[in-house]
Structures are given as C-alpha cells and as structure tokens.
Amino acid sequence: MKNWTKQEIADVYNQPLLELLYQAATVHRKYNDPREVQISKLVSIKTDGCPEDCGYCPQAARYHTDINGNSLMSVEEVKGHAQEAKDMGSSRVCMGAAWRNVKDDSDFDQVLEMVKSVNQMDMEVCCTLGMLTESQAKRLADAGLYAYNHNLDTSEEYYKEVISTRGYEDRLQTIENARKAKLTVCSGGIIGMGEKDEDRISMLYTYSLMKPQPESVPINALVAVEGTPMEDQKPVPIWDMIRMIATTRIVLEHSAVRLSAGRTEMSEEGQALCFMAGANSIFAGEKLLTTPNPEFNNDLALFEKLGLVPMKAYKKGDKPKINEDYKKAPEKKEKIKWSRPAHIIDRNEKAKKKPKVSRIGFEPRKVSSVKEL
C-alpha cells in the first residue's frame, strides 16, 4: 500500500477532471467489479434532540429545524425496515441515533437486540451512535455488528469551525475503539460546508495514514437544512463531488466509496460519473436520516440503465458470529473523558438564537445540496 504525502494527494485532486476520472476508473477496475454497487439502507432509530452542536446537522436540539423527532424505535420496526430494504436489493442496514455517545443503559440493550436481529437476516449491520467506549464496541461486535460509522467529516483544522462540543481526537478515539473490537470501520466526510480544497485533501490524508484504512468511506454533499448554521451554504457543484470521489478512490484504493447525502439534487448523468469515478455504494430509500433521498425504484431503474447490479452481503468479509456475551453489561462502567472544547463558533451561535418560524401556510423548508452546473 502506498504511503501518501499530502502533496501527492493534492496533485491527484487537482488534475484535469477527465484525467482524474480515467485514473480513478482504472484503479476501481483493479480491485473491484465496476458493475457491483452496494445498496445500504439507513434507518434513523432515534431522531432529533441531540445535545451536540454540529453545524451541518438538522438533529442538533439547539437549532430550530423542522424535523419530527422520535424516541428509540422498537426492534420489530427495525426488522420491518430491514426486510423491506432487503426485498429491494439492499445488503446492508445502517442504524443511526442522534446521540453524542452511547450509554450503558436499556436503550443500548435494545440497540444490541436490533443488531442481532438484522444480522440474523443475513444483512451487513452498521451502526452510527456517536462516541463509543471499547467495551461498548465489543458488545456491539458480539451482538453481530459488522461495521461502525463514525465520520471525521473534514480536516482537523476545519473541524473547529463546525463543532465545539467535541474534538477531532474524540472521533479518532472512537474509531480506534471500534477497531479494537474488530469491527470494520465506515468513516468519511461532508463537502460543501465552506471548507477549502486543502481540508478535503487533509481529511483523505488522515484516512490514508490509518492502519487499516476504513473499509468504507462515505462522501456526503452537505444537505443545507433551514435552521442549521449552514442553511445558506451554496450547493456543492457536481464536479466537486466527482473530483472528491475519484480522489478518494485513488488514495483509499481498497475502501468502498459511498456516494452518500445529496443525490436528490444530482442528475442521473452526474451520479453515473460518480460511479465511473469509483463510487461503489449508495444509501437507498426515500429518506436518509431526516432529509429526502431518491426513491428505491428510481435507483433500481438507474442501475438498470447503467448496467449496475446490487452487491451481495459480506462480499469482502465474513458474517460476524453472535456471542451471547453481548448481554452482559460491564460491572464497572468504562469511563472515558471525552473532550469539550467549548470554543465559540459564530455561525453556530447565531443559529441557536434564531426564532423558530411557524410553517403553517408556507412553502416547505429549503433543502439543497448538489448543484448541476
């Protein structure tokens, strides 16, 4: 595996687009069947009311967005979503919770049962629950979890402009905890938050240094949701998305690259170029966590047009065996002192103070992500 320097990654990223696309498509063909694309289904098992201040996120309690929150979903409901998705060709379910971190409580016990149930349906199970201790990661692995999603989202430098309630080191620590429990790692980023090209490059550099590198790397286009500090961010040009995906494919040649948030704003031609650039995974289903996503049937029709086929579960790894130890909560809770930088981010402060707008009689809230130029 190549040891990349930041400059080398920048040189890849800054190439003429079609040259970059050609190189990425070539690397893609070396390690993957370019016809296969993994379909993953997101299920928001606990929506809204999160105590964190992530500037992009509609689920942060302190911003006045217009989403419907819920308490933790039942195991039966999760199984229903998983079965529906499996019937449409999904091989993976990713369960997301609007939590800062996992707590050793009855909600976590319920999540462990969800993991076990979906594993028993022969689908890959992924969770994204916020920060995690090593013993919590181990219980998830014992319950049959295949992957843990925890995004660095951007460079270490720009992270400080986005979130003040936790630090980059907390993200790295959680990824390490997931690794210690032998979980595969899904970790990627968002483009379009006002970051510079160097931030995108720096994030990829950080991932390139990981040993092992993340098995899966989601690339999200910011979905600018009204009420969040980033509501006025301009939609990211489709060309940036293609450039970012192609560079990710070249630098992290063994990882699955997931074309994630932002697809409702992308044309079929734009998405086709992302697949050409090496994206080999998508989130499917009409909703991401809280924002819209293309309909399953439209995606299947697109697959048909492009000659793509859904990837089977566990193409690159073994199905985790369930170990009933997952039921045993640790006698002594593992204490981790997660950081609380608490610096001031102006746009986050401003968004916090904005009054909630009543929507009755108004157009639906604005949501934008990718711009077709």
Binding site for ligand DTB (CB under 6 A): 42, 58, 94, 96, 128, 149, 151, 188, 218, 220, 223, 260-261, 288-291
- What angle, 0 to 180 degrees and rounded to 10, lies between the N-to-C axes of helices 134-143 and 106-119? 40
Residue type, 332: K
- In the bound complex, what is the minimum distance in angstroms from residue 290's beta carbon to ligand DTB? 4
Spatial separation of the C-alpha atoms in residues 17 and 366, rounded to whole Å: 30
- DSSP character for 285? S
Q: Does 21 bind ligand SAM (CB under 6 A)?
A: no
Spatial separation of the C-alpha atoms in residues 34 and 279, rounded to whole Å: 9
Six token digits for residue 87: 């019937």
Q: Binder to ligand SF4 among 9, 37, 60, 183 (CB under 6 A)?
A: 60
Q: Does the bond joining 294 to the residue before it have cis omega, within 30 degrees of 0?
A: no
Of 347, 254, 291, the C-alpha closest to 68 is 291
Q: Binder to ligand SF4 among 20, 43, 57, 257 (CB under 6 A)?
A: 57
Q: Does 128 bind ligand SAM (CB under 6 A)?
A: yes
Residue 50 a catalytic site member: yes
Burial of residue 76, with CB atoms counted within 10 A of its CB: 0-12 exposed, 13-18 middle, 19 or more buried:
exposed
- In the bound complex, what is the minimum distance in angstroms from residue 58's beta carbon to ligand DTB? 5
Q: Does 270 bind ligand SAM (CB under 6 A)?
A: no
Q: Does 351 bind ligand SAM (CB under 6 A)?
A: no
Residue 186 a catalytic site member: yes
- In the bound complex, what is the minimum distance in angstroms from residue 50's beta carbon to ligand SF4? 3
Residue 274 a catalytic site member: no
Piece in contact with ligand SF4 (CB under 6 A), picked from 51-59, 255-263, 270-278, 330-338: 51-59
- Write the CB contacts of 80 (distance below 8 Å, at least 6 apart in sequence): none
Six token digits for residue 280: 């080999």
Catalytic residue, chosen from 200, 258, 263, 274, is 258
Catalytic residue, chosen from 127, 139, 171, 186, is 186
Spatial separation of the C-alpha atoms in residues 293 and 79, rounded to whole Å: 21
The residues that touch ligand SAM, with contacts defined as CB under 6 A, are 56-57, 59, 96, 98-99, 128, 130, 150-151, 153, 190, 220, 222-223, 225, 261, 289
Catalytic positions: 50, 54, 57, 94, 126, 186, 258
